[in-house]
Amino acid sequence: MLLIIRKDHRSICLYAAQQIAAEIRQKPHCVLGLATGSTPLGVYRELIRIHKKEGLDFSQVQTFNLDEYVNLPKDHNQSYYYFMKKYFFDHINIHPFSIHIPDGMAEDIETECLRYEEQILEAGGIDLQLLGIGSNGHIAFNEPFSSLGSRTRIKTLTEKTRRDNARYFASMKDVPKYAITMGVGTIMDSRKLILMATGQRKASAIKTTVEGPITARVPATIVQIHPYATILIDRVAASKLTQALKIAE
Ligand code: GLP
């Protein structure tokens, strides 16, 4: 596990975007795993810039998003489909059929989850998965006590996650209660992982993720045993680490 501590949110976003751009240049038909939330927004902004200014080509890239709310229509301004289009896909040359996001409106959620797993396999697996982290240590929507071997499935969101995400909705009662999420096992099958976190709100979760024992109580701790995982954090998110010896610039 590679731990990279940079001074602020902007610098970690630039670093992550460079890693993704390098992956695409090296393997133009690569499969990217993408995340939503406020943390990766700067990564998408920088990738759009590299696409526009340096011609980074997404025409052969395939993407799989980590998760999607259940029962939120695609055109709802808080659906992850809407988010990805607005902040990323509408600004790059990716083919619409190369974009994969779980369908939270599917009539048969179980079949949708199986289909999603199959699509990832058919694409050849995920080369590089971008991850954020919840303040309770969740990855995607794998809440505390999710099985560390889990696959794509429906999960009930915890009160804490719903409260964290309530800032994006008109009121707490509008925050969805369920989501389809890649499982912890699905995420761990990705060839490379980049987990990003910034700010005080994530400092405790990062301390446990990096220094704590591996436990389903904090699903992000599993990345400790991934062969190519990078934990990319700013100084504030790193502030509770006791073993980080050197602050890199
Ligand atoms: C949601 C998403 C996660 C994301 C988390 C943190 O719960 N499902 O994938 O990591 O939010 O979001 P933020 O980056 O806004 O703190």
Residues 198-232 as b/e (b if ≥16 CB within 10 A, e otherwise) read: bbeebbbbbbbbbebebebebbbbbbeebeebbbb
Active site residues: 67, 136, 138, 143
Q: How far is the CA of 243 from the centre of ligand 1 (A)?
A: 25
Give Cβ neighbours of residue 84 (< 8 Å, ≥ 6 apart).
34, 36, 65, 99, 101
How many domains are contained in the chain? 1
Query: pLDDT in tens for each of the 249 residues of the chain?
Result: 999 999 999 999 999 999 999 999 999 999 999 999 999 999 999 999 999 999 999 999 999 999 999 999 999 999 999 999 999 999 999 999 999 999 999 999 999 999 999 999 999 999 999 999 999 999 999 999 999 999 999 999 999 889 988 999 999 999 999 999 999 999 999 999 999 999 999 999 999 999 999 999 999 999 999 999 999 999 999 999 997 755 444
pTM score of the predicted model: 0.96
String of DSSP letters for 50-79? HHHHH----TT-EEEESEEETT--TTSTTS
Rounded Cα–Cα distance for residues 144 and 219 (Å): 6
Verify whether ligand 1 is closer than 6 Å to residue 141 (CB atom). yes
Work out the widest C-alpha separation in the chain, in whole angstroms: 51
Atom 9, ligand 1: residue with shortest CA distance:
140
Phi, psi angles (nearest 5°) of residue 136? -95, 10
3-class state of residue 156 by DSSP = strand
Give Cβ neighbours of residue 64 (< 8 Å, ≥ 6 apart).
31, 32, 33, 34, 100, 101, 116, 119, 120, 123, 126, 182
| Sheet with strand 2-6: strands edge to edge | 2-6, 229-234, 192-197, 128-131, 31-34, 62-65, 99-100
pLDDT in the model for residue 245: 56
Verify whether ligand 1 is closer than 6 Å to residue 197 (CB atom). no
3-class state of residue 199 by DSSP = coil
Q: Tokens representing 193?
A: 């992982």
Q: Tokens representing 28?
A: 């133009």
Q: Whole domain around residue 194: which residue ranges?
A: 2-248
Rounded Cα–Cα distance for residues 12 and 24 (Å): 19
Q: Are 70 and 178 in contact (CB under 8 A)?
A: yes
Burial status of residue 73 (CB atoms within 10 A of its CB: 0-12, 13-18, 19 or more): exposed
CATH number at residue 156: 3.40.50.1360
Phi, psi angles (nearest 5°) of residue 64? -130, 120
Q: Which atom of ligand 1 is nearest to the CA of 202?
A: 16
Q: How far is the CA of 74 from the centre of ligand 1 (A)?
A: 18
Rounded Cα–Cα distance for residues 227 and 15 (Å): 20
Atom 2, ligand 1: residue with shortest CA distance:
140
